């Protein structure tokens, strides 16, 4: 009883949040899951249980394999986005980490896109990624033409096979600065003595980075990947803003919205749950790992 | 302590370790050349936004896209402002309460989970944290159903409510890590020995030293509420929704007025950019805090 008096008030203070999250996170997920195994395909109420049929239909019976197509788009987008943002973030951090005059200025500029919403940046990227090539080219294509780099002109996101790679460009533009900030904090967290010891041992700059510094950055890289990865899975605003909802650039998050417009609740719920599972497969092990790592330290 | 993500420490650790004193060699010329090249690439979209927003209709032709305006005009700004004005002010009514309320909740939760712990606090914390990563589509369909069934009108108050709820995980995370690294356990113990209860300890001892944490969560929540589009599109419309909805209506028309769209995009981004430029150091700290572990 005395122990309860000790920690009881804390739990009490926390309980409103716990109740709200229990309802609005876990409760609503359960509700969506229930909807995804029902036959509520119209605005009318219906609670027939159909098991996993909605899921099966998504993978095997969707018109033109629309769902698989959206997953494929998401995969291309995610790979290009992650690789691009990690690469630029690391390069920028390396440049700034080596000591640059006016570092604060560079850092602020590299990071500013982060403050802009995808809806706002979509406006300008739609303009930049003007798909016209040749004489009437606009946006980046026009820039290529004036630099005599015409061969680089392309149709950007309207390319039916690799369009999603272009769609990742605005996302890379927006999040590379964030990765840079993470890496920069990682670099600065490495004790100076470690570098000095390596220098004393006669390690070259390359070996210093390769064998001493980069291994220390693994946790930072992992959290950057997790944050970017889960953002990528949810990507909605950017695509709605650059291309609008359309077949070429459809990802599951947009598909959910489009399906809801036709009031097919069961199908929309099933897509949402697949999306949730995709995120959970990555996030849950990460959270457990973090929790354990913390206990051991 | 492996969960770093400490706002003030992260900000400190971003400060340059040493001033660049080395003489300018070839390596440093390459370094600066690269830094400036990347700078130009990052600024390119901003250049386009600003230049285009001051052009007049006839000036937007394909061939002169990258040029400065021939005749500078603010007509597009006037047009954009008139269609965004109402939602611009509405979005302050959204983002400010969200920032304040969710920060307070986060502070209380973070304190309990770091310095007034109960058995199983870590598991509870992990369960809370999961809420930060979920794709909101997975809750949106029933959420909208609840809102319509209960007859809650779509618009700003509804959005404030949902942003506060789904902001709990990130704010709790930021404050938990802040307290765990900056508030000594002995301080809380001493207060306990003096007979101070939870609320007194929190209100009189902890809150006054929480300002750095608040700066981070307020900026973070303000920005994410301001920039949100997903909740807005589900739970509001152009008549009562935030500015992202209004901007999308302005810019997403069949044949968009590019000059007005770009002026609109700049107007939409201005508040978050100002917050960011003024409080950039802390904002960076907030970004660190977004990572569970770093």
Q: Which residues of A touch B137 (CB under 8 A)?
A: 234, 236, 252-253, 256-257, 271-272, 275-276
At residue A186, does pLDDT exceed 60? yes
Q: Domain locations in chain A? A: 64-296
* 3-state class (DSSP) for residue A159: coil
Cα–Cα distance for residue pair B270/A283, rounded to 1 Å? 33
Quick check: B13 and A240 CB within 8 A?
no
HSE (side-chain half, CA atoms, 13 Å) at B198: 21
pLDDT tens for each residue of B224-249: 999 999 999 999 998 999 999 999 99
User: How confident is the model over A18-32, as a mean pLDDT?
Assistant: 96
| Residue whose C-alpha is closest to residue B49's, from A123, A147, A279 | A123
Cα–Cα distance for residue pair B23/A99, rounded to 1 Å? 12
Cβ(B3)–Cβ(B180) below 8 Å = yes
In CATH terms, the fold of domain B7-12+80-257+268-290 is MetI-like fold (1.10.3720)
Cα–Cα distance for residue pair B25/B69, rounded to 1 Å? 40
State whether residue A32 sits within 8 Å of chain B by CB. Answer: yes
Q: Judging by beta carbons within 10 Å of its beta carbon (0-12, 13-18, 19+), is residue B194 exposed, middle or buried?
A: exposed
What is the structure's pLDDT at B29?
Answer: 86
- What the block records as the tokens of B279 is 């409080």
In CATH terms, the fold of domain A64-296 is MetI-like fold (1.10.3720)
Cβ(A198)–Cβ(A208) below 8 Å = yes
User: How confident is the model over B161-179, as a mean pLDDT?
Assistant: 93
User: How confident is the model over B81-103, as a mean pLDDT?
Assistant: 96
Which of A31, A119, A184 lies closest to B14 in CB terms?
Answer: A184
Q: Looking at residue A25, what DSSP letter applies?
A: I
User: How confident is the model over A112-123, as a mean pLDDT?
Assistant: 92
Complex-level ipTM: 0.89
User: How confident is the model over A129-142, as a mean pLDDT?
Assistant: 83
HSE (side-chain half, CA atoms, 13 Å) at B286: 26
User: How confident is the model over A21-31, as a mean pLDDT?
Assistant: 96
Cβ(A268)–Cβ(A40) below 8 Å = no
Q: Looking at residue A195, what DSSP letter applies?
A: H
What is the structure's pLDDT at B14?
Answer: 52
Which of A92, A220, A230 lies closest to B38 in CB terms?
Answer: A92
Backbone phi, psi, residue A209, to 5°: -70, -45
Q: Which residues of A touch B22 (CB under 8 A)?
A: 99
List, as ranges, residues 67-86 from B with C-beta within 8 Å of A: none
- What the block records as the tokens of B85 is 């004005």
What is the structure's pLDDT at B230?
Answer: 94
Cα–Cα distance for residue pair A5/A3, rounded to 1 Å? 5
| Residue whose C-alpha is closest to residue A175's, from A232, A120, A123 | A232
At residue B214, does pLDDT exceed 80? yes
Q: Domain locations in chain B? A: 7-12+80-257+268-290
pLDDT band at residue B292 under the 50/70/90 scheme = very low
pLDDT band at residue A142 under the 50/70/90 scheme = confident
Q: Which residues of B touch A241 (CB under 8 A)?
A: 229, 248, 251-252
Which of B108, B113, B137 lies closest to A253 in CB terms?
Answer: B137
User: How confident is the model over A237-262, as a mean pLDDT?
Assistant: 93
């Amino acid at each position: 009883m005395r122990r309860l008096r000790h920690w009881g008030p804390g739990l009490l203070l926390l309980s409103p949040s716990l109740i709200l999250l229990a309802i609005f996170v876990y409760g609503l997920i359960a509700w969506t899951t229930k909807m995804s195994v029902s036959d509520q395909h119209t605005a009318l109420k219906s609670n027939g249980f159909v098991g996993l049929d909605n899921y099966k239909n998504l993978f095997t019976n969707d018109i033109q394999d629309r769902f698989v197509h959206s997953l494929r788009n998401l995969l291309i987008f995610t790979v290009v986005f992650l690789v691009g943002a990690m690469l630029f973030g690391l390069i920028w951090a390396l440049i700034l980490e080596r000591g640059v005059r006016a570092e604060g200025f560079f850092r602020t500029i590299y990071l500013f896109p982060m403050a802009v919403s995808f809806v706002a940046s979509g406006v300008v990227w739609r303009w930049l990624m003007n798909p016209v090539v040749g004489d009437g080219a606009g946006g980046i294509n026009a820039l290529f033409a004036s630099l005599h780099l015409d061969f680089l002109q392309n149709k950007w996101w309207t390319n039916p096979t690799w369009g999603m790679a272009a769609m990742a460009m605005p996302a890379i533009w927006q999040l590379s600065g964030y990765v840079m900030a993470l890496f920069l904090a990682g670099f600065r967290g490495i004790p100076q003595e470690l570098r000095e010891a390596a220098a004393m041992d006669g390690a070259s700059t390359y070996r210093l980075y390769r064998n001493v510094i980069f291994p220390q950055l693994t946790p930072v890289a992992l959290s950057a990947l997790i944050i970017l990865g889960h953002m990528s899975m949810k990507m909605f605003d950017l695509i709605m803003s650059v291309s609008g909802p359309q077949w070429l650039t459809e990802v599951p998050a947009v598909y959910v919205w489009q399906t809801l417009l036709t009031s097919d609740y069961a199908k929309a719920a099933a897509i949402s749950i697949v999306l949730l599972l995709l995120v959970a497969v990555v996030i849950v092990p990460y959270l457990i790992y973090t929790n354990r790592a913390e206990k051991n330290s | 302590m492996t969960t770093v993500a400490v706002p003030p420490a992260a900000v400190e650790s971003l400060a340059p370790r040493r001033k660049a004193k080395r003489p300018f060699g070839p390596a440093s010329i390459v370094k600066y050349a690269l830094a400036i090249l990347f700078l130009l690439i990052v600024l390119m979209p901003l250049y386009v936004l600003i230049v285009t927003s001051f052009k007049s209709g006839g000036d937007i032709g394909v061939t002169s896209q990258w040029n400065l305006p021939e005749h500078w005009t603010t007509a597009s700004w006037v047009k954009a402002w008139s269609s965004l004005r109402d939602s611009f002010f509405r979005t302050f009514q959204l983002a400010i309460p969200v920032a304040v309320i969710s920060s307070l909740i986060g502070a209380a939760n973070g304190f309990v989970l770091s310095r007034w712990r109960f058995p199983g606090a870590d598991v509870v914390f992990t369960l809370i944290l999961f809420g930060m990563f979920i794709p909101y589509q997975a809750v949106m369909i029933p959420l909208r159903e609840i809102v319509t069934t209960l007859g809650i009108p779509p618009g700003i108050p509804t959005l404030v409510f949902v942003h506060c709820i789904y902001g709990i995980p990130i704010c709790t995370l930021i404050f938990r890590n802040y307290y765990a690294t900056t508030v000594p356990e002995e301080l809380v113990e001493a207060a306990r020995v003096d007979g101070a209860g939870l609320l007194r300890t929190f209100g009189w001892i902890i809150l006054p030293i929480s300002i750095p944490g608040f700066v981070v969560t307020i900026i973070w929540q303000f920005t994410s509420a301001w920039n949100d589009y997903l909740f807005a599109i589900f739970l509001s419309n152009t008549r009562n929704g935030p500015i992202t909805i209004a901007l999308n209506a302005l810019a997403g028309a069949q044949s968009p007025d590019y000059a007005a769209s770009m002026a609109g995009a700049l107007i939409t981004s201005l508040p978050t950019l100002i917050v960011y430029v003024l409080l950039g150091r802390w904002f960076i700290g907030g970004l660190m805090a977004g990572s569970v572990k770093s």
